[in-house]
Amino acid sequence: MNDAPELTQPTRPTQAGRPGGVWHWTTRELLVAATIGALGAALTAATKAAATALYAISPVLAAPMTGTALFVGVLAASLIRRPGAALVAGAVAAIVVTPFGGFNPRNLVAAAVVAIAVELAALVSRYRMLTWYGVLLAALLNGAFLLSIHWLVWRMSQMVPALQIGTAVSLVGAQIVWAALGVVVARMLARAGVHVSTSR
């Protein structure tokens, strides 16, 4: 009788104790990212309608309505904690919201920029729950991008200086609030026992 030990296939190294490491997505994580994106699309449609109404009063009031995509990306990245989480959720949101406002390539570009900003923040946070430094990084990057877009769309160059400053502060400040809200909601869900990823 052969008592030699049975040869076994070596297992692939893992990161954070997960098969395949941080790049390995589960079906559950994909579904959660898609769900966050779909909910984000509904939120974006609502805030876009609010922004249109508020802009008639003042762009300072409309500016805070522009950060929902950042909220979606931060929430997805904080819950799923995989490279590409913000990209997946943002892409779903951009596609689902199309019937509410028509197809606009600018929306896809904006969604990509927001997602990239969040992905950089997630990388800084090492794909854990986003740190406040990561939140601030994502918010400032997205705020700078949106300010450049709205400078043209809202013709901010034609505004009086006080209104220019007020709109810029309102827009960038809103990005910080939306990003922070994404982390707060993710932490509330984690404390309630909602665990999407098995990351550190």
Three-state helix/strand/coil letters over the chain: CCCCCCCCCCCCCCECCECCHHHCCCHHHHHHHHHHHHHHHHHHHHHHHHHHHHHCCCHHHHHHHHCHHHHHHHHHHHHHCCCCHHHHHHHHHHHHCHHHHCCCHHHHHHHHHHHHHHHHHHHHCCCCCCCHHHHHHHHHHHHHHHHHHHHHHCCHHHCCHHHHHHHHHHHHHHHHHHHHHHHHHHHHHHHCCCCCCCCC
- 100 has a pLDDT exceeding 90: no
Q: In this structure, what token pair is assigned to residue 35?
A: 């769900």
Give this prediction's pTM: 0.82
Q: What is the mean pLDDT of the chain?
A: 83
Q: What is the pLDDT of residues 47-61, one digit of tens each?
A: 988 998 999 999 999
- 200 has a pLDDT exceeding 70: no
| Section 164-170 average pLDDT | 94
Q: Are 121 and 108 in contact (CB under 8 A)?
A: no
